[in-house]
């Protein structure tokens, strides 16, 4: 019963985090959301959340590096098989123009 109460308290805190920071609810459907909680739970009690600086600098740099490495296999495929560059443009509610560039190849589409 105690564990159920702790889960409810944790779930309420997570929901409040979404509400107070205007995080879209569909984020809870992402694989990264589930993986994050699995890894935090493995750590156990005393896990210290990331600091603003760690999120903004350290881990952002690492993610850029990881994305570049992931992109390399796509670039190799583009050289072999060719690719198509696609552009999708739209305007948001504040009348700001948004342009998305995508590269399509037999391997997959890269956004």
Residue 70 has what pLDDT?
86
Instruction: Write the CB contacts of 3 (distance below 8 Å, at least 6 apart in sequence).
Output: none
Domain count, the chain: 2
Q: Are residues 44 and 82 in the same domain?
A: no
Q: Are residues 70 and 16 in the same domain?
A: no
Q: Are residues 42 and 65 in the same domain?
A: no
Residue 56 has what pLDDT?
96
Q: Are residues 7 and 60 in the same domain?
A: no
Q: Select from 13, 65, 58 the least CA-distant residue to 40.
A: 13
CA distance 98 to 55: 25
Q: Are residues 13 and 64 in the same domain?
A: no
pLDDT tens track for 45-101: 899 999 999 999 999 999 999 999 988 988 988 999 999 999 999 998 888 999 999
Cross-strand pairs, 104:
84, 109
Q: Which domain holds residue 91?
A: 50-111
pLDDT category at 1 given cuts 50, 70, 90 is: low
CA distance 1 to 102: 50
CA distance 104 to 98: 19
Q: Are residues 91 and 70 in the same domain?
A: yes
Q: Are residues 60 and 43 in the same domain?
A: no
Q: In what helix (H) or strand (E) does residue 35 lie, and over which residues does it extend? A: helix 31-43
Residue 107 has what pLDDT?
82
């Amino acid at each position: 019963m105690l564990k159920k109460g702790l889960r409810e308290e944790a779930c309420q805190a997570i929901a409040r985090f979404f509400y107070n920071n205007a995080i879209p609810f569909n984020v809870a459907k992402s694989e990264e959301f589930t993986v994050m909680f699995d890894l935090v739970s493995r750590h156990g009690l005393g896990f210290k959340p990331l600091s603003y600086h760690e999120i903004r600098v350290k881990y952002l740099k690492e993610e850029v590096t990881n994305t570049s490495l992931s992109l390399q296999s796509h670039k190799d495929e583009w050289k072999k098989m060719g690719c198509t560059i696609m552009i999708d443009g739209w305007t948001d509610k504040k009348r700001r123009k948004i342009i998305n560039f995508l590269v399509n190849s037999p391997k997959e589409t890269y956004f």
